[in-house]
Structures are given as structure tokens and as C-alpha cells.
Chain A
Amino acid sequence: MSLLNVTDLSVSFVTRNGTTQAVQGVNFSVERNSITAIIGESGSGKSVSCYALLGLIPQPPGRIDSGSAEFNGRDLLAMSERELRGIRGSDIAMIFQDPMTCLNPYMRIGEQLIEPLLVHGVADKETAKQRAIDLLDEVGIQNAETAMMAYPFEFSGGMRQRVMIAMALIAEPKLLIADEPTTALDVTIQAQILRLIASLQEKRDIGVLFISHDLAVVSDIADHIVVMEKGLVVEQGAPAKIFTDAEHPYTQKLLAAIPSGKAPESDEVREPLITASNLKTYFQTQSGNEPVKAVDDVSLEIKRGEVLGLVGESGSGKSTFGRSLLRLTPITDGNVTFDGIDVGALGRNDLKVLRRRMQMIFQDPYASLNPRMTVYDTLAEPLLLHNIATRSTLDAAIKSLMNDVGLASAFAKKYPHEFSGGQRQRIAIGRALATKPEFIVADEPVSALDVTIQAQILDLLKDLKDEYGLTMLFVSHDLAVVRQIADRVAVLYRGKLEEVGNTASVFDTPTSDYTQRLLAAIPGKSAA
């Protein structure tokens, strides 16, 4: 018999604007000593189905319409809140997505860790403390005893996620629900946490329900994969079956969206368009403190017509580097030349002329568009500013621009909030292309998007690159994405350039230690 058996689960949300069916007739199960993964994009209902099991959906507006969830022979959905409380944290525990916000900032780590034991009356305070220390040790926190007295802010994201895992496991649950536990973490940390979860699962013989949007991540650890789309389970089965012989078109789409990692080939020798020499960008935090060396003495050339992938984890200075090239962030030392022009030395008018030739695409399509301007106004601004279009040709120019980025021109008078994330990113790309620039800095342009949308936007960027003859600096933390689009790759680590070279050679024969570690951490190698 399965550890957890969910049948015909339906959940809806009743709001003022009507009822939305979040989950419809979902069936899946979790076996003892195995990992079941639920895969889906945002809004697929993957999290809702799991939260519903533990009564963690606020009701109203949430409503469980039908279904049963047999856990250890009892139906979770039929339990009273009181009975459920007895199960939460003791028999079924959870880990959440963002370790930065999931720990109480006002309580010591130790206090929070032992809480499940005390609440469920499993142990007294002294035994609980001892067990907490042992567990912290086990999940790889050094100086566990001191850590007990620390507050969450004293730990990094990866460490906090370890604490979260320890907290989930402390009452020896039989089922662990992990909701995107590695999404908020850097790649190398992600790999460590995945390994930790897998090893703890095996050692303790427990069932794990692993929720993720990333097929590659779960391919390494899952025993069973459930694919959800728009509240429905569209396909489920063993990973081998899903990866080799997916039946449902949506699953195939998801698989196709996994960046395959085929690097574009090109060996032409080209002229550098942009050169950064000994570029340093420091941020003064508080007077008296050492400045943060976001970019520390980096020299790099970007050749005309190429896509240079710039990779690094959070805090590596990759975004700051991109902004420094465009003079959006003042540089501390060194210089940047664009087509032989010293960018730092330009006066206001010359800079404006140059701005036309270099543009930026931002990460967050929600924040990068002025919410009070229509698509039309957003696109008209650069066109008029740089006299690319006149009043009379403006309509036609905007229409062709929208067409280029795959937006129907009928939506020109709509506001950003009326579009989806992928559509907004298309608008933002259109704005950047309006001036017909030669060079574009794309700062994590797809990381805020769902996987299938990611693939569409990447394709769009590739097409536009050829159409417009662009040179591009493609900044990303996602190596698989970079591999797909970049001709050459540069790796940044703590503000320093670790390695630069052709995409194929960096990925196949990395020279620096850090690059090797970074590559080893890419999820989904077993599937590729």
C-alpha cells in the first residue's frame, strides 16, 4: 500500500471575480522510501494540491470540492483541523521555496528547530535541544551548538535551507513535502541541497513529495514524475519513461524547453565592438567600511556580432558588469570603449547619441515597464526621442516593432498589467530594439519566466539577433540557457573573471576550479 494516495482531488478558489478551478480530479501517490516529483509551471496547481492535503490553503477563498488523500490508512481531507494539526510537523513535514522568508526573523534558530517536538509532545526541552544539535550537524551546519543561538539573518540562503530541512525532519516524519526547495538558491548550492535531500530520504526510509517547475532538477532524484498543467495531471510515470517516451504534448513541450546545450558554432575572427579594460566598480556601503567590490579588475572584449554569455552566481558582479558597460552604474576605475569611443569620457549629448546604439533588456518584466504607460507610449518614447520615427510614421514603426517581437499590434493601447510575463518581456525587448541598437545587454532576460515561455523568448532573441545584426552580452546564472545562445562564455566569481573562452571549450574542458564546480552542479545530467 502506498504511503500517500491522492484520488480525484479538486480544489477551487472563490473570489469576487468568480470561481477558479485550481486543481481538477488529480490522482497521484507517494510510495514509502521513494521520491515523487510534481512538475508544472506557475498556476499549474502543483503547490495547491499539496497544500490542500495539510489544510494549509486559506478557506475561504480556497475550497476543496472533492477527493480523498489516504495517508497511513486515514483520509487527510476528512480530518478536522485539530486532527490535521497533530499530523502536520510530526507525520508530514514541509520545506518551502524561499529559505530567506520562511524562518521567523525574530526567533533564534534553536527555538524554532525544537518547536515541532515540543508542540507534538514528543520530547522534553533538553532532549529536543540535543536532537536539534545532532540534526544540524547531520545537515551540514558547522558549530551546531552556536548555531542554535543564532538568528536566521546570520545565515546564507543555503544554510537556512539546511536549517529548514533539519526542522522538517526533527520529528521524524514519514512524508516530507518539499515545495521548490532549491529554486531560490544558486546552482552550486542547489546541487548540494538536492544531494542532501536524497541522502536523508534514503537513510530515513521516508517518502518525499517534491514540487518543482524544473524538469532537469527532479530528473536526478525522482523515482516517479507527475506532470501537471492548468490543474490537471497530464502525464505521470517513471523518469525513464517520461524522458524517453513522453506521450502528452505538454510534457514534450517541457522536454523540448530544457536547454539542450548545443552550442552555436563559429570560428570567425571578428573585431571587438566593446572593450572593458581593468574595469572596477565598487559600492560604498557605509562610510568607513570597505567598499563592496562588485566588479574587480575585469578586462573583457565583446566582438562584433557575437553573443557573449556572462555567467556567475548571485553576488558575482555579473549584472553590475553589464550596467557598467552601458554607464548605468558609475565605474570606479578602468575604462570601457565602444567602437573606439571612450564611453566614460562622453558629455551628455554625445552620451545620448551613444545610448541609441546600446540598449538593455532587464530581468523582471514586471518592473521594467512603466505601469502607467501603454505599449504604444512605451515604444513611442525611444522612437521619438532619437528621431527614428516622426509623428506621421510612428504608427507604422510601432506596428512593425510589435510584429518583430511577436505581439499583435491590436494590443498597442493596452497597459503592461494586462499582459502575461512572457508578453511583457516581448514589449521590453521591443523597446530595446526600437533604436536599432548595435549592442544589447540582456540581464537574465528569461529567469523570471516559466520554462516553456523561456524557450520562446530565447528563440525570439536568437531570431532578432540575426535580423538586427546584434552584438549581445547575455547575463545569466543558468548555464544551460547560456550554452544554448552564447558563442563565447565568460565566468565571473566574486567580481573577478575566472575564465573566458569559446562556449564548447568552456563547457567541455573548463580550466578554472570554480567553473568545474559550477558545471558539476548543473541539474539534469542523468537525463541529458
Chain B
Amino acid sequence: MSTDQMAHLTDAEDGASLWHDAWLRLRKNRAAVTGGAILLVMVVLAILTPWIAPYGYEAQNLDLGATPPSAAHWLGTDIFGRDLLTQILYGGRISLAVGFIATAVALVIGVTWGAIAGYVGGRVDSVMMRFVDILYALPFMIFIILLMVVFGRNILLLFLAIGAVEWLTMARIMRTQVQSLRQQEFVEAAVSLGLSPFAIIFKHIIPNALGPIIVYTTLTIPSVMLLEAFLSFLGLGIQPPQTSWGLLISYGAETMEEYPWLLIFPGMALTVTLFSLNFLGDGLRDALDVRGSKD
């Protein structure tokens, strides 16, 4: 019994967990780090908006009208003389809130549903997943529009409706994860040690399923924000007096010939945020790929 093959493990220091390794890999990915930083700034700005916005949200200046960017109004004003930067900050609050809250709704439903189906397996699993399959086949964009038309354009309803669409994929991913983890030998080893199902789920399955969930969550937020903006653009999402980036883009598109900045700046805000989220998500996907660090 020799320990000579240990030679390459030089120090008796603490080992590097996969999370730690993933963090190191993520840090090397410049696009993901930039994305994360921009996102952080956006979130902070959105939270602090009521205190840092240069003008009041309702403040109009009809005499001023639409003006291009200037020292007083960094991003210009709209036709009512309202400060565009202020509008974008307040719109960002709503857009980001929709993105995060609706994703959270999807996350909770989807992960629970998928984990149960995957772990219990058998008939329960096939019934639960058949239900997901059927919902999956429904044309949801049309349904959300229908809901908004029938029940009025309510922001709470919007959260629910979007969350209800996005949980399906989450459930599928979680189920696949749990199913493949269940067949792993380390889970079988835990069973043969006599661990309870509860302990197995929390100690062995969830920590290993977390990676894909984090990645997919990061990628769901932009698609939710896109959906909100899409509906708001059609006039079926966020309603005045509230505003969102989608709504601002829709106003901007109406008057873009005369006042192009009203289209371009809200568009930039949305696009940059979506970019950041997607780059961060892609970076996390690469960094958290457990298989990639196996050898």
C-alpha cells in the first residue's frame, strides 16, 4: 500500500471545490464578467431610481417639447418635455422587475415539478411530464395576449402569465438532471449506505443539479424581458402611467422620423441589458460545465 502516487498533490491544503473552479473559469471570461458588471450597475440604478433620477417621473414641460440630448437633459426629452433619462430609469425598474419576478415564479414551479417527477419516476413521472408536454404544445404567445385582452392589462397578471410559460422548460431541465443524477453511482452508493431519500435529494442531487439551473435561470431572464417588451410594444403589456422599455420603444418608433433619440436610447438600454444577461449566461454555462473539468 503505497502513497507514492500522491506525489503530484503537493500540499495538504484545502481542495478546490467545483464551485471554486467554476468561479475561476468565469473570472477569466471577459465577456461574462463585463456582462455581470453592467447588470449589477443596472440593478443598482433601478433600485436607487427614485433618489437618483434627475427629474420627477411625472414632471412635464410642454413648452420645452422634444429636445435632443443636452447638458440639462442628457438623453433629451420627449414631446411632453419629459426627461428621457428619467423615463428610461423608471422603465428599467419595471422591465427588470418583470424579468426577475416572472423568472422566480418559473423557477419555483419548474424546479419543484421537475424534481418530483424525476425523483419519484414511474407513473407519477409520466403523468406529470405528459401534462408538461401538452402545455408545451399550446401556442403560449397567443394565450398571453388573449389573457391580457380578456382580463385587462394588469402587471400582476403579466408576471403570472409569463412565469406560467417559462416554468415548462425549467421543469424539463430539472427532471432530466434529477433523472440522470439518480442513476449515477454515487447516488446508488448513498442508497446502499442507508441514507434517507430526503438526505439523498438535499446532499447528493440538488448540489449537482444546481449548475444547469443557475445557467438556465440566467438565460430565462432575458427571454422574459423580451416577452414583456414585446407585449408592451403592442400595447398589451405595461400600461401608462407606468412605463417600461418596451413601451418607450413603442413611443419612440412612432416619432422616430423627427426625434430618433426617443427610439435609440430606450432601445440601447434594452439591448445592452439583454446582451449582458446572455453573455453572463453563456459564461456561466461554460464555467459550470461539470463534465468539462472531469479530468
Contacts and interface: CB of A to CB of B under 8 A. Distances in A.
Q: Report A-B touching, CB under 8 Å.
A: yes
Interface residues of B, number: 33
A381 interface: yes
A337 interface: no
Contacts of B9: 411, 414, 418-419
A362 B293 CA distance: 21
A372 interface: yes
A417 B12 contact: no
B220 to A, nearest CB: 24
Nearest to A359: B192
A157 B244 CA distance: 59
Interface string B266-290: 0000000000000000000000001
A420 interface: yes
Most buried by A among B17, B188, B194: B194
Contact of B5 (A323, A370, A420): A420
A372 B18 contact: yes
Interface string B11-47: 0111111110100000000000000000000000000
A351 B194 contact: yes
B1 interface: yes
Contact of B15 (A352, A374, A435, A463): A374
Interface in A413-448: 413-415, 417-420, 422-423, 428, 431-432, 435
Nearest to B20: A415
Contact of A463 (B1, B184, B189): B1
A367 B194 contact: no
A431 B17 CA distance: 19
A364 interface: yes
A431 B189 contact: yes
A173 interface: no
Nearest to A441: B192
B188 A382 contact: no
Contact of B1 (A352, A382, A460): A460
A488 interface: no
A406 B1 contact: yes
A410 B184 CA distance: 28
A369 B195 contact: no
A355 B193 contact: yes
Contact of B186 (A369, A420, A460): A369
A343 B5 CA distance: 40
B293 A417 contact: yes
B70 interface: no
B189 A368 contact: yes
B193 A417 contact: no
A355 B13 CA distance: 34
Contacts of B204: 370
B2 A406 contact: yes
Contacts of B186: 367-371
A366 to B, nearest CB: 6
A382 B193 contact: yes
Contacts of A408: 3, 6, 12
B185 interface: yes
A157 B293 CA distance: 29
A231 B12 CA distance: 29
A362 B185 contact: yes
Interface in A287-329: 323, 326, 328
A423 B246 CA distance: 56
B189 to A, nearest CB: 6
B193 A413 contact: no
A419 B6 CA distance: 9
A117 interface: no
A326 B16 CA distance: 34
A159 B19 CA distance: 44
A328 B192 contact: yes
Contacts of A356: 194
Interface string A365-388: 011111111100000011001100
Contact of A371 (B13, B188, B290): B290
B293 A360 contact: no
Nearest to A353: B194
A508 to B, nearest CB: 32
Contacts of B13: 413
Interface string B178-210: 000000111011111111000000011001100
Given A364-B185, A386-B194, A423-B5, 11 more contacts: A359-B192, A371-B208, A372-B18, A372-B19, A385-B193, A406-B3, A407-B6, A414-B14, A417-B21, A456-B2, A459-B1
14 contacts: A326-B192, A366-B294, A372-B207, A372-B208, A374-B17, A381-B203, A382-B193, A382-B194, A385-B193, A385-B194, A407-B3, A411-B15, A415-B15, A415-B16
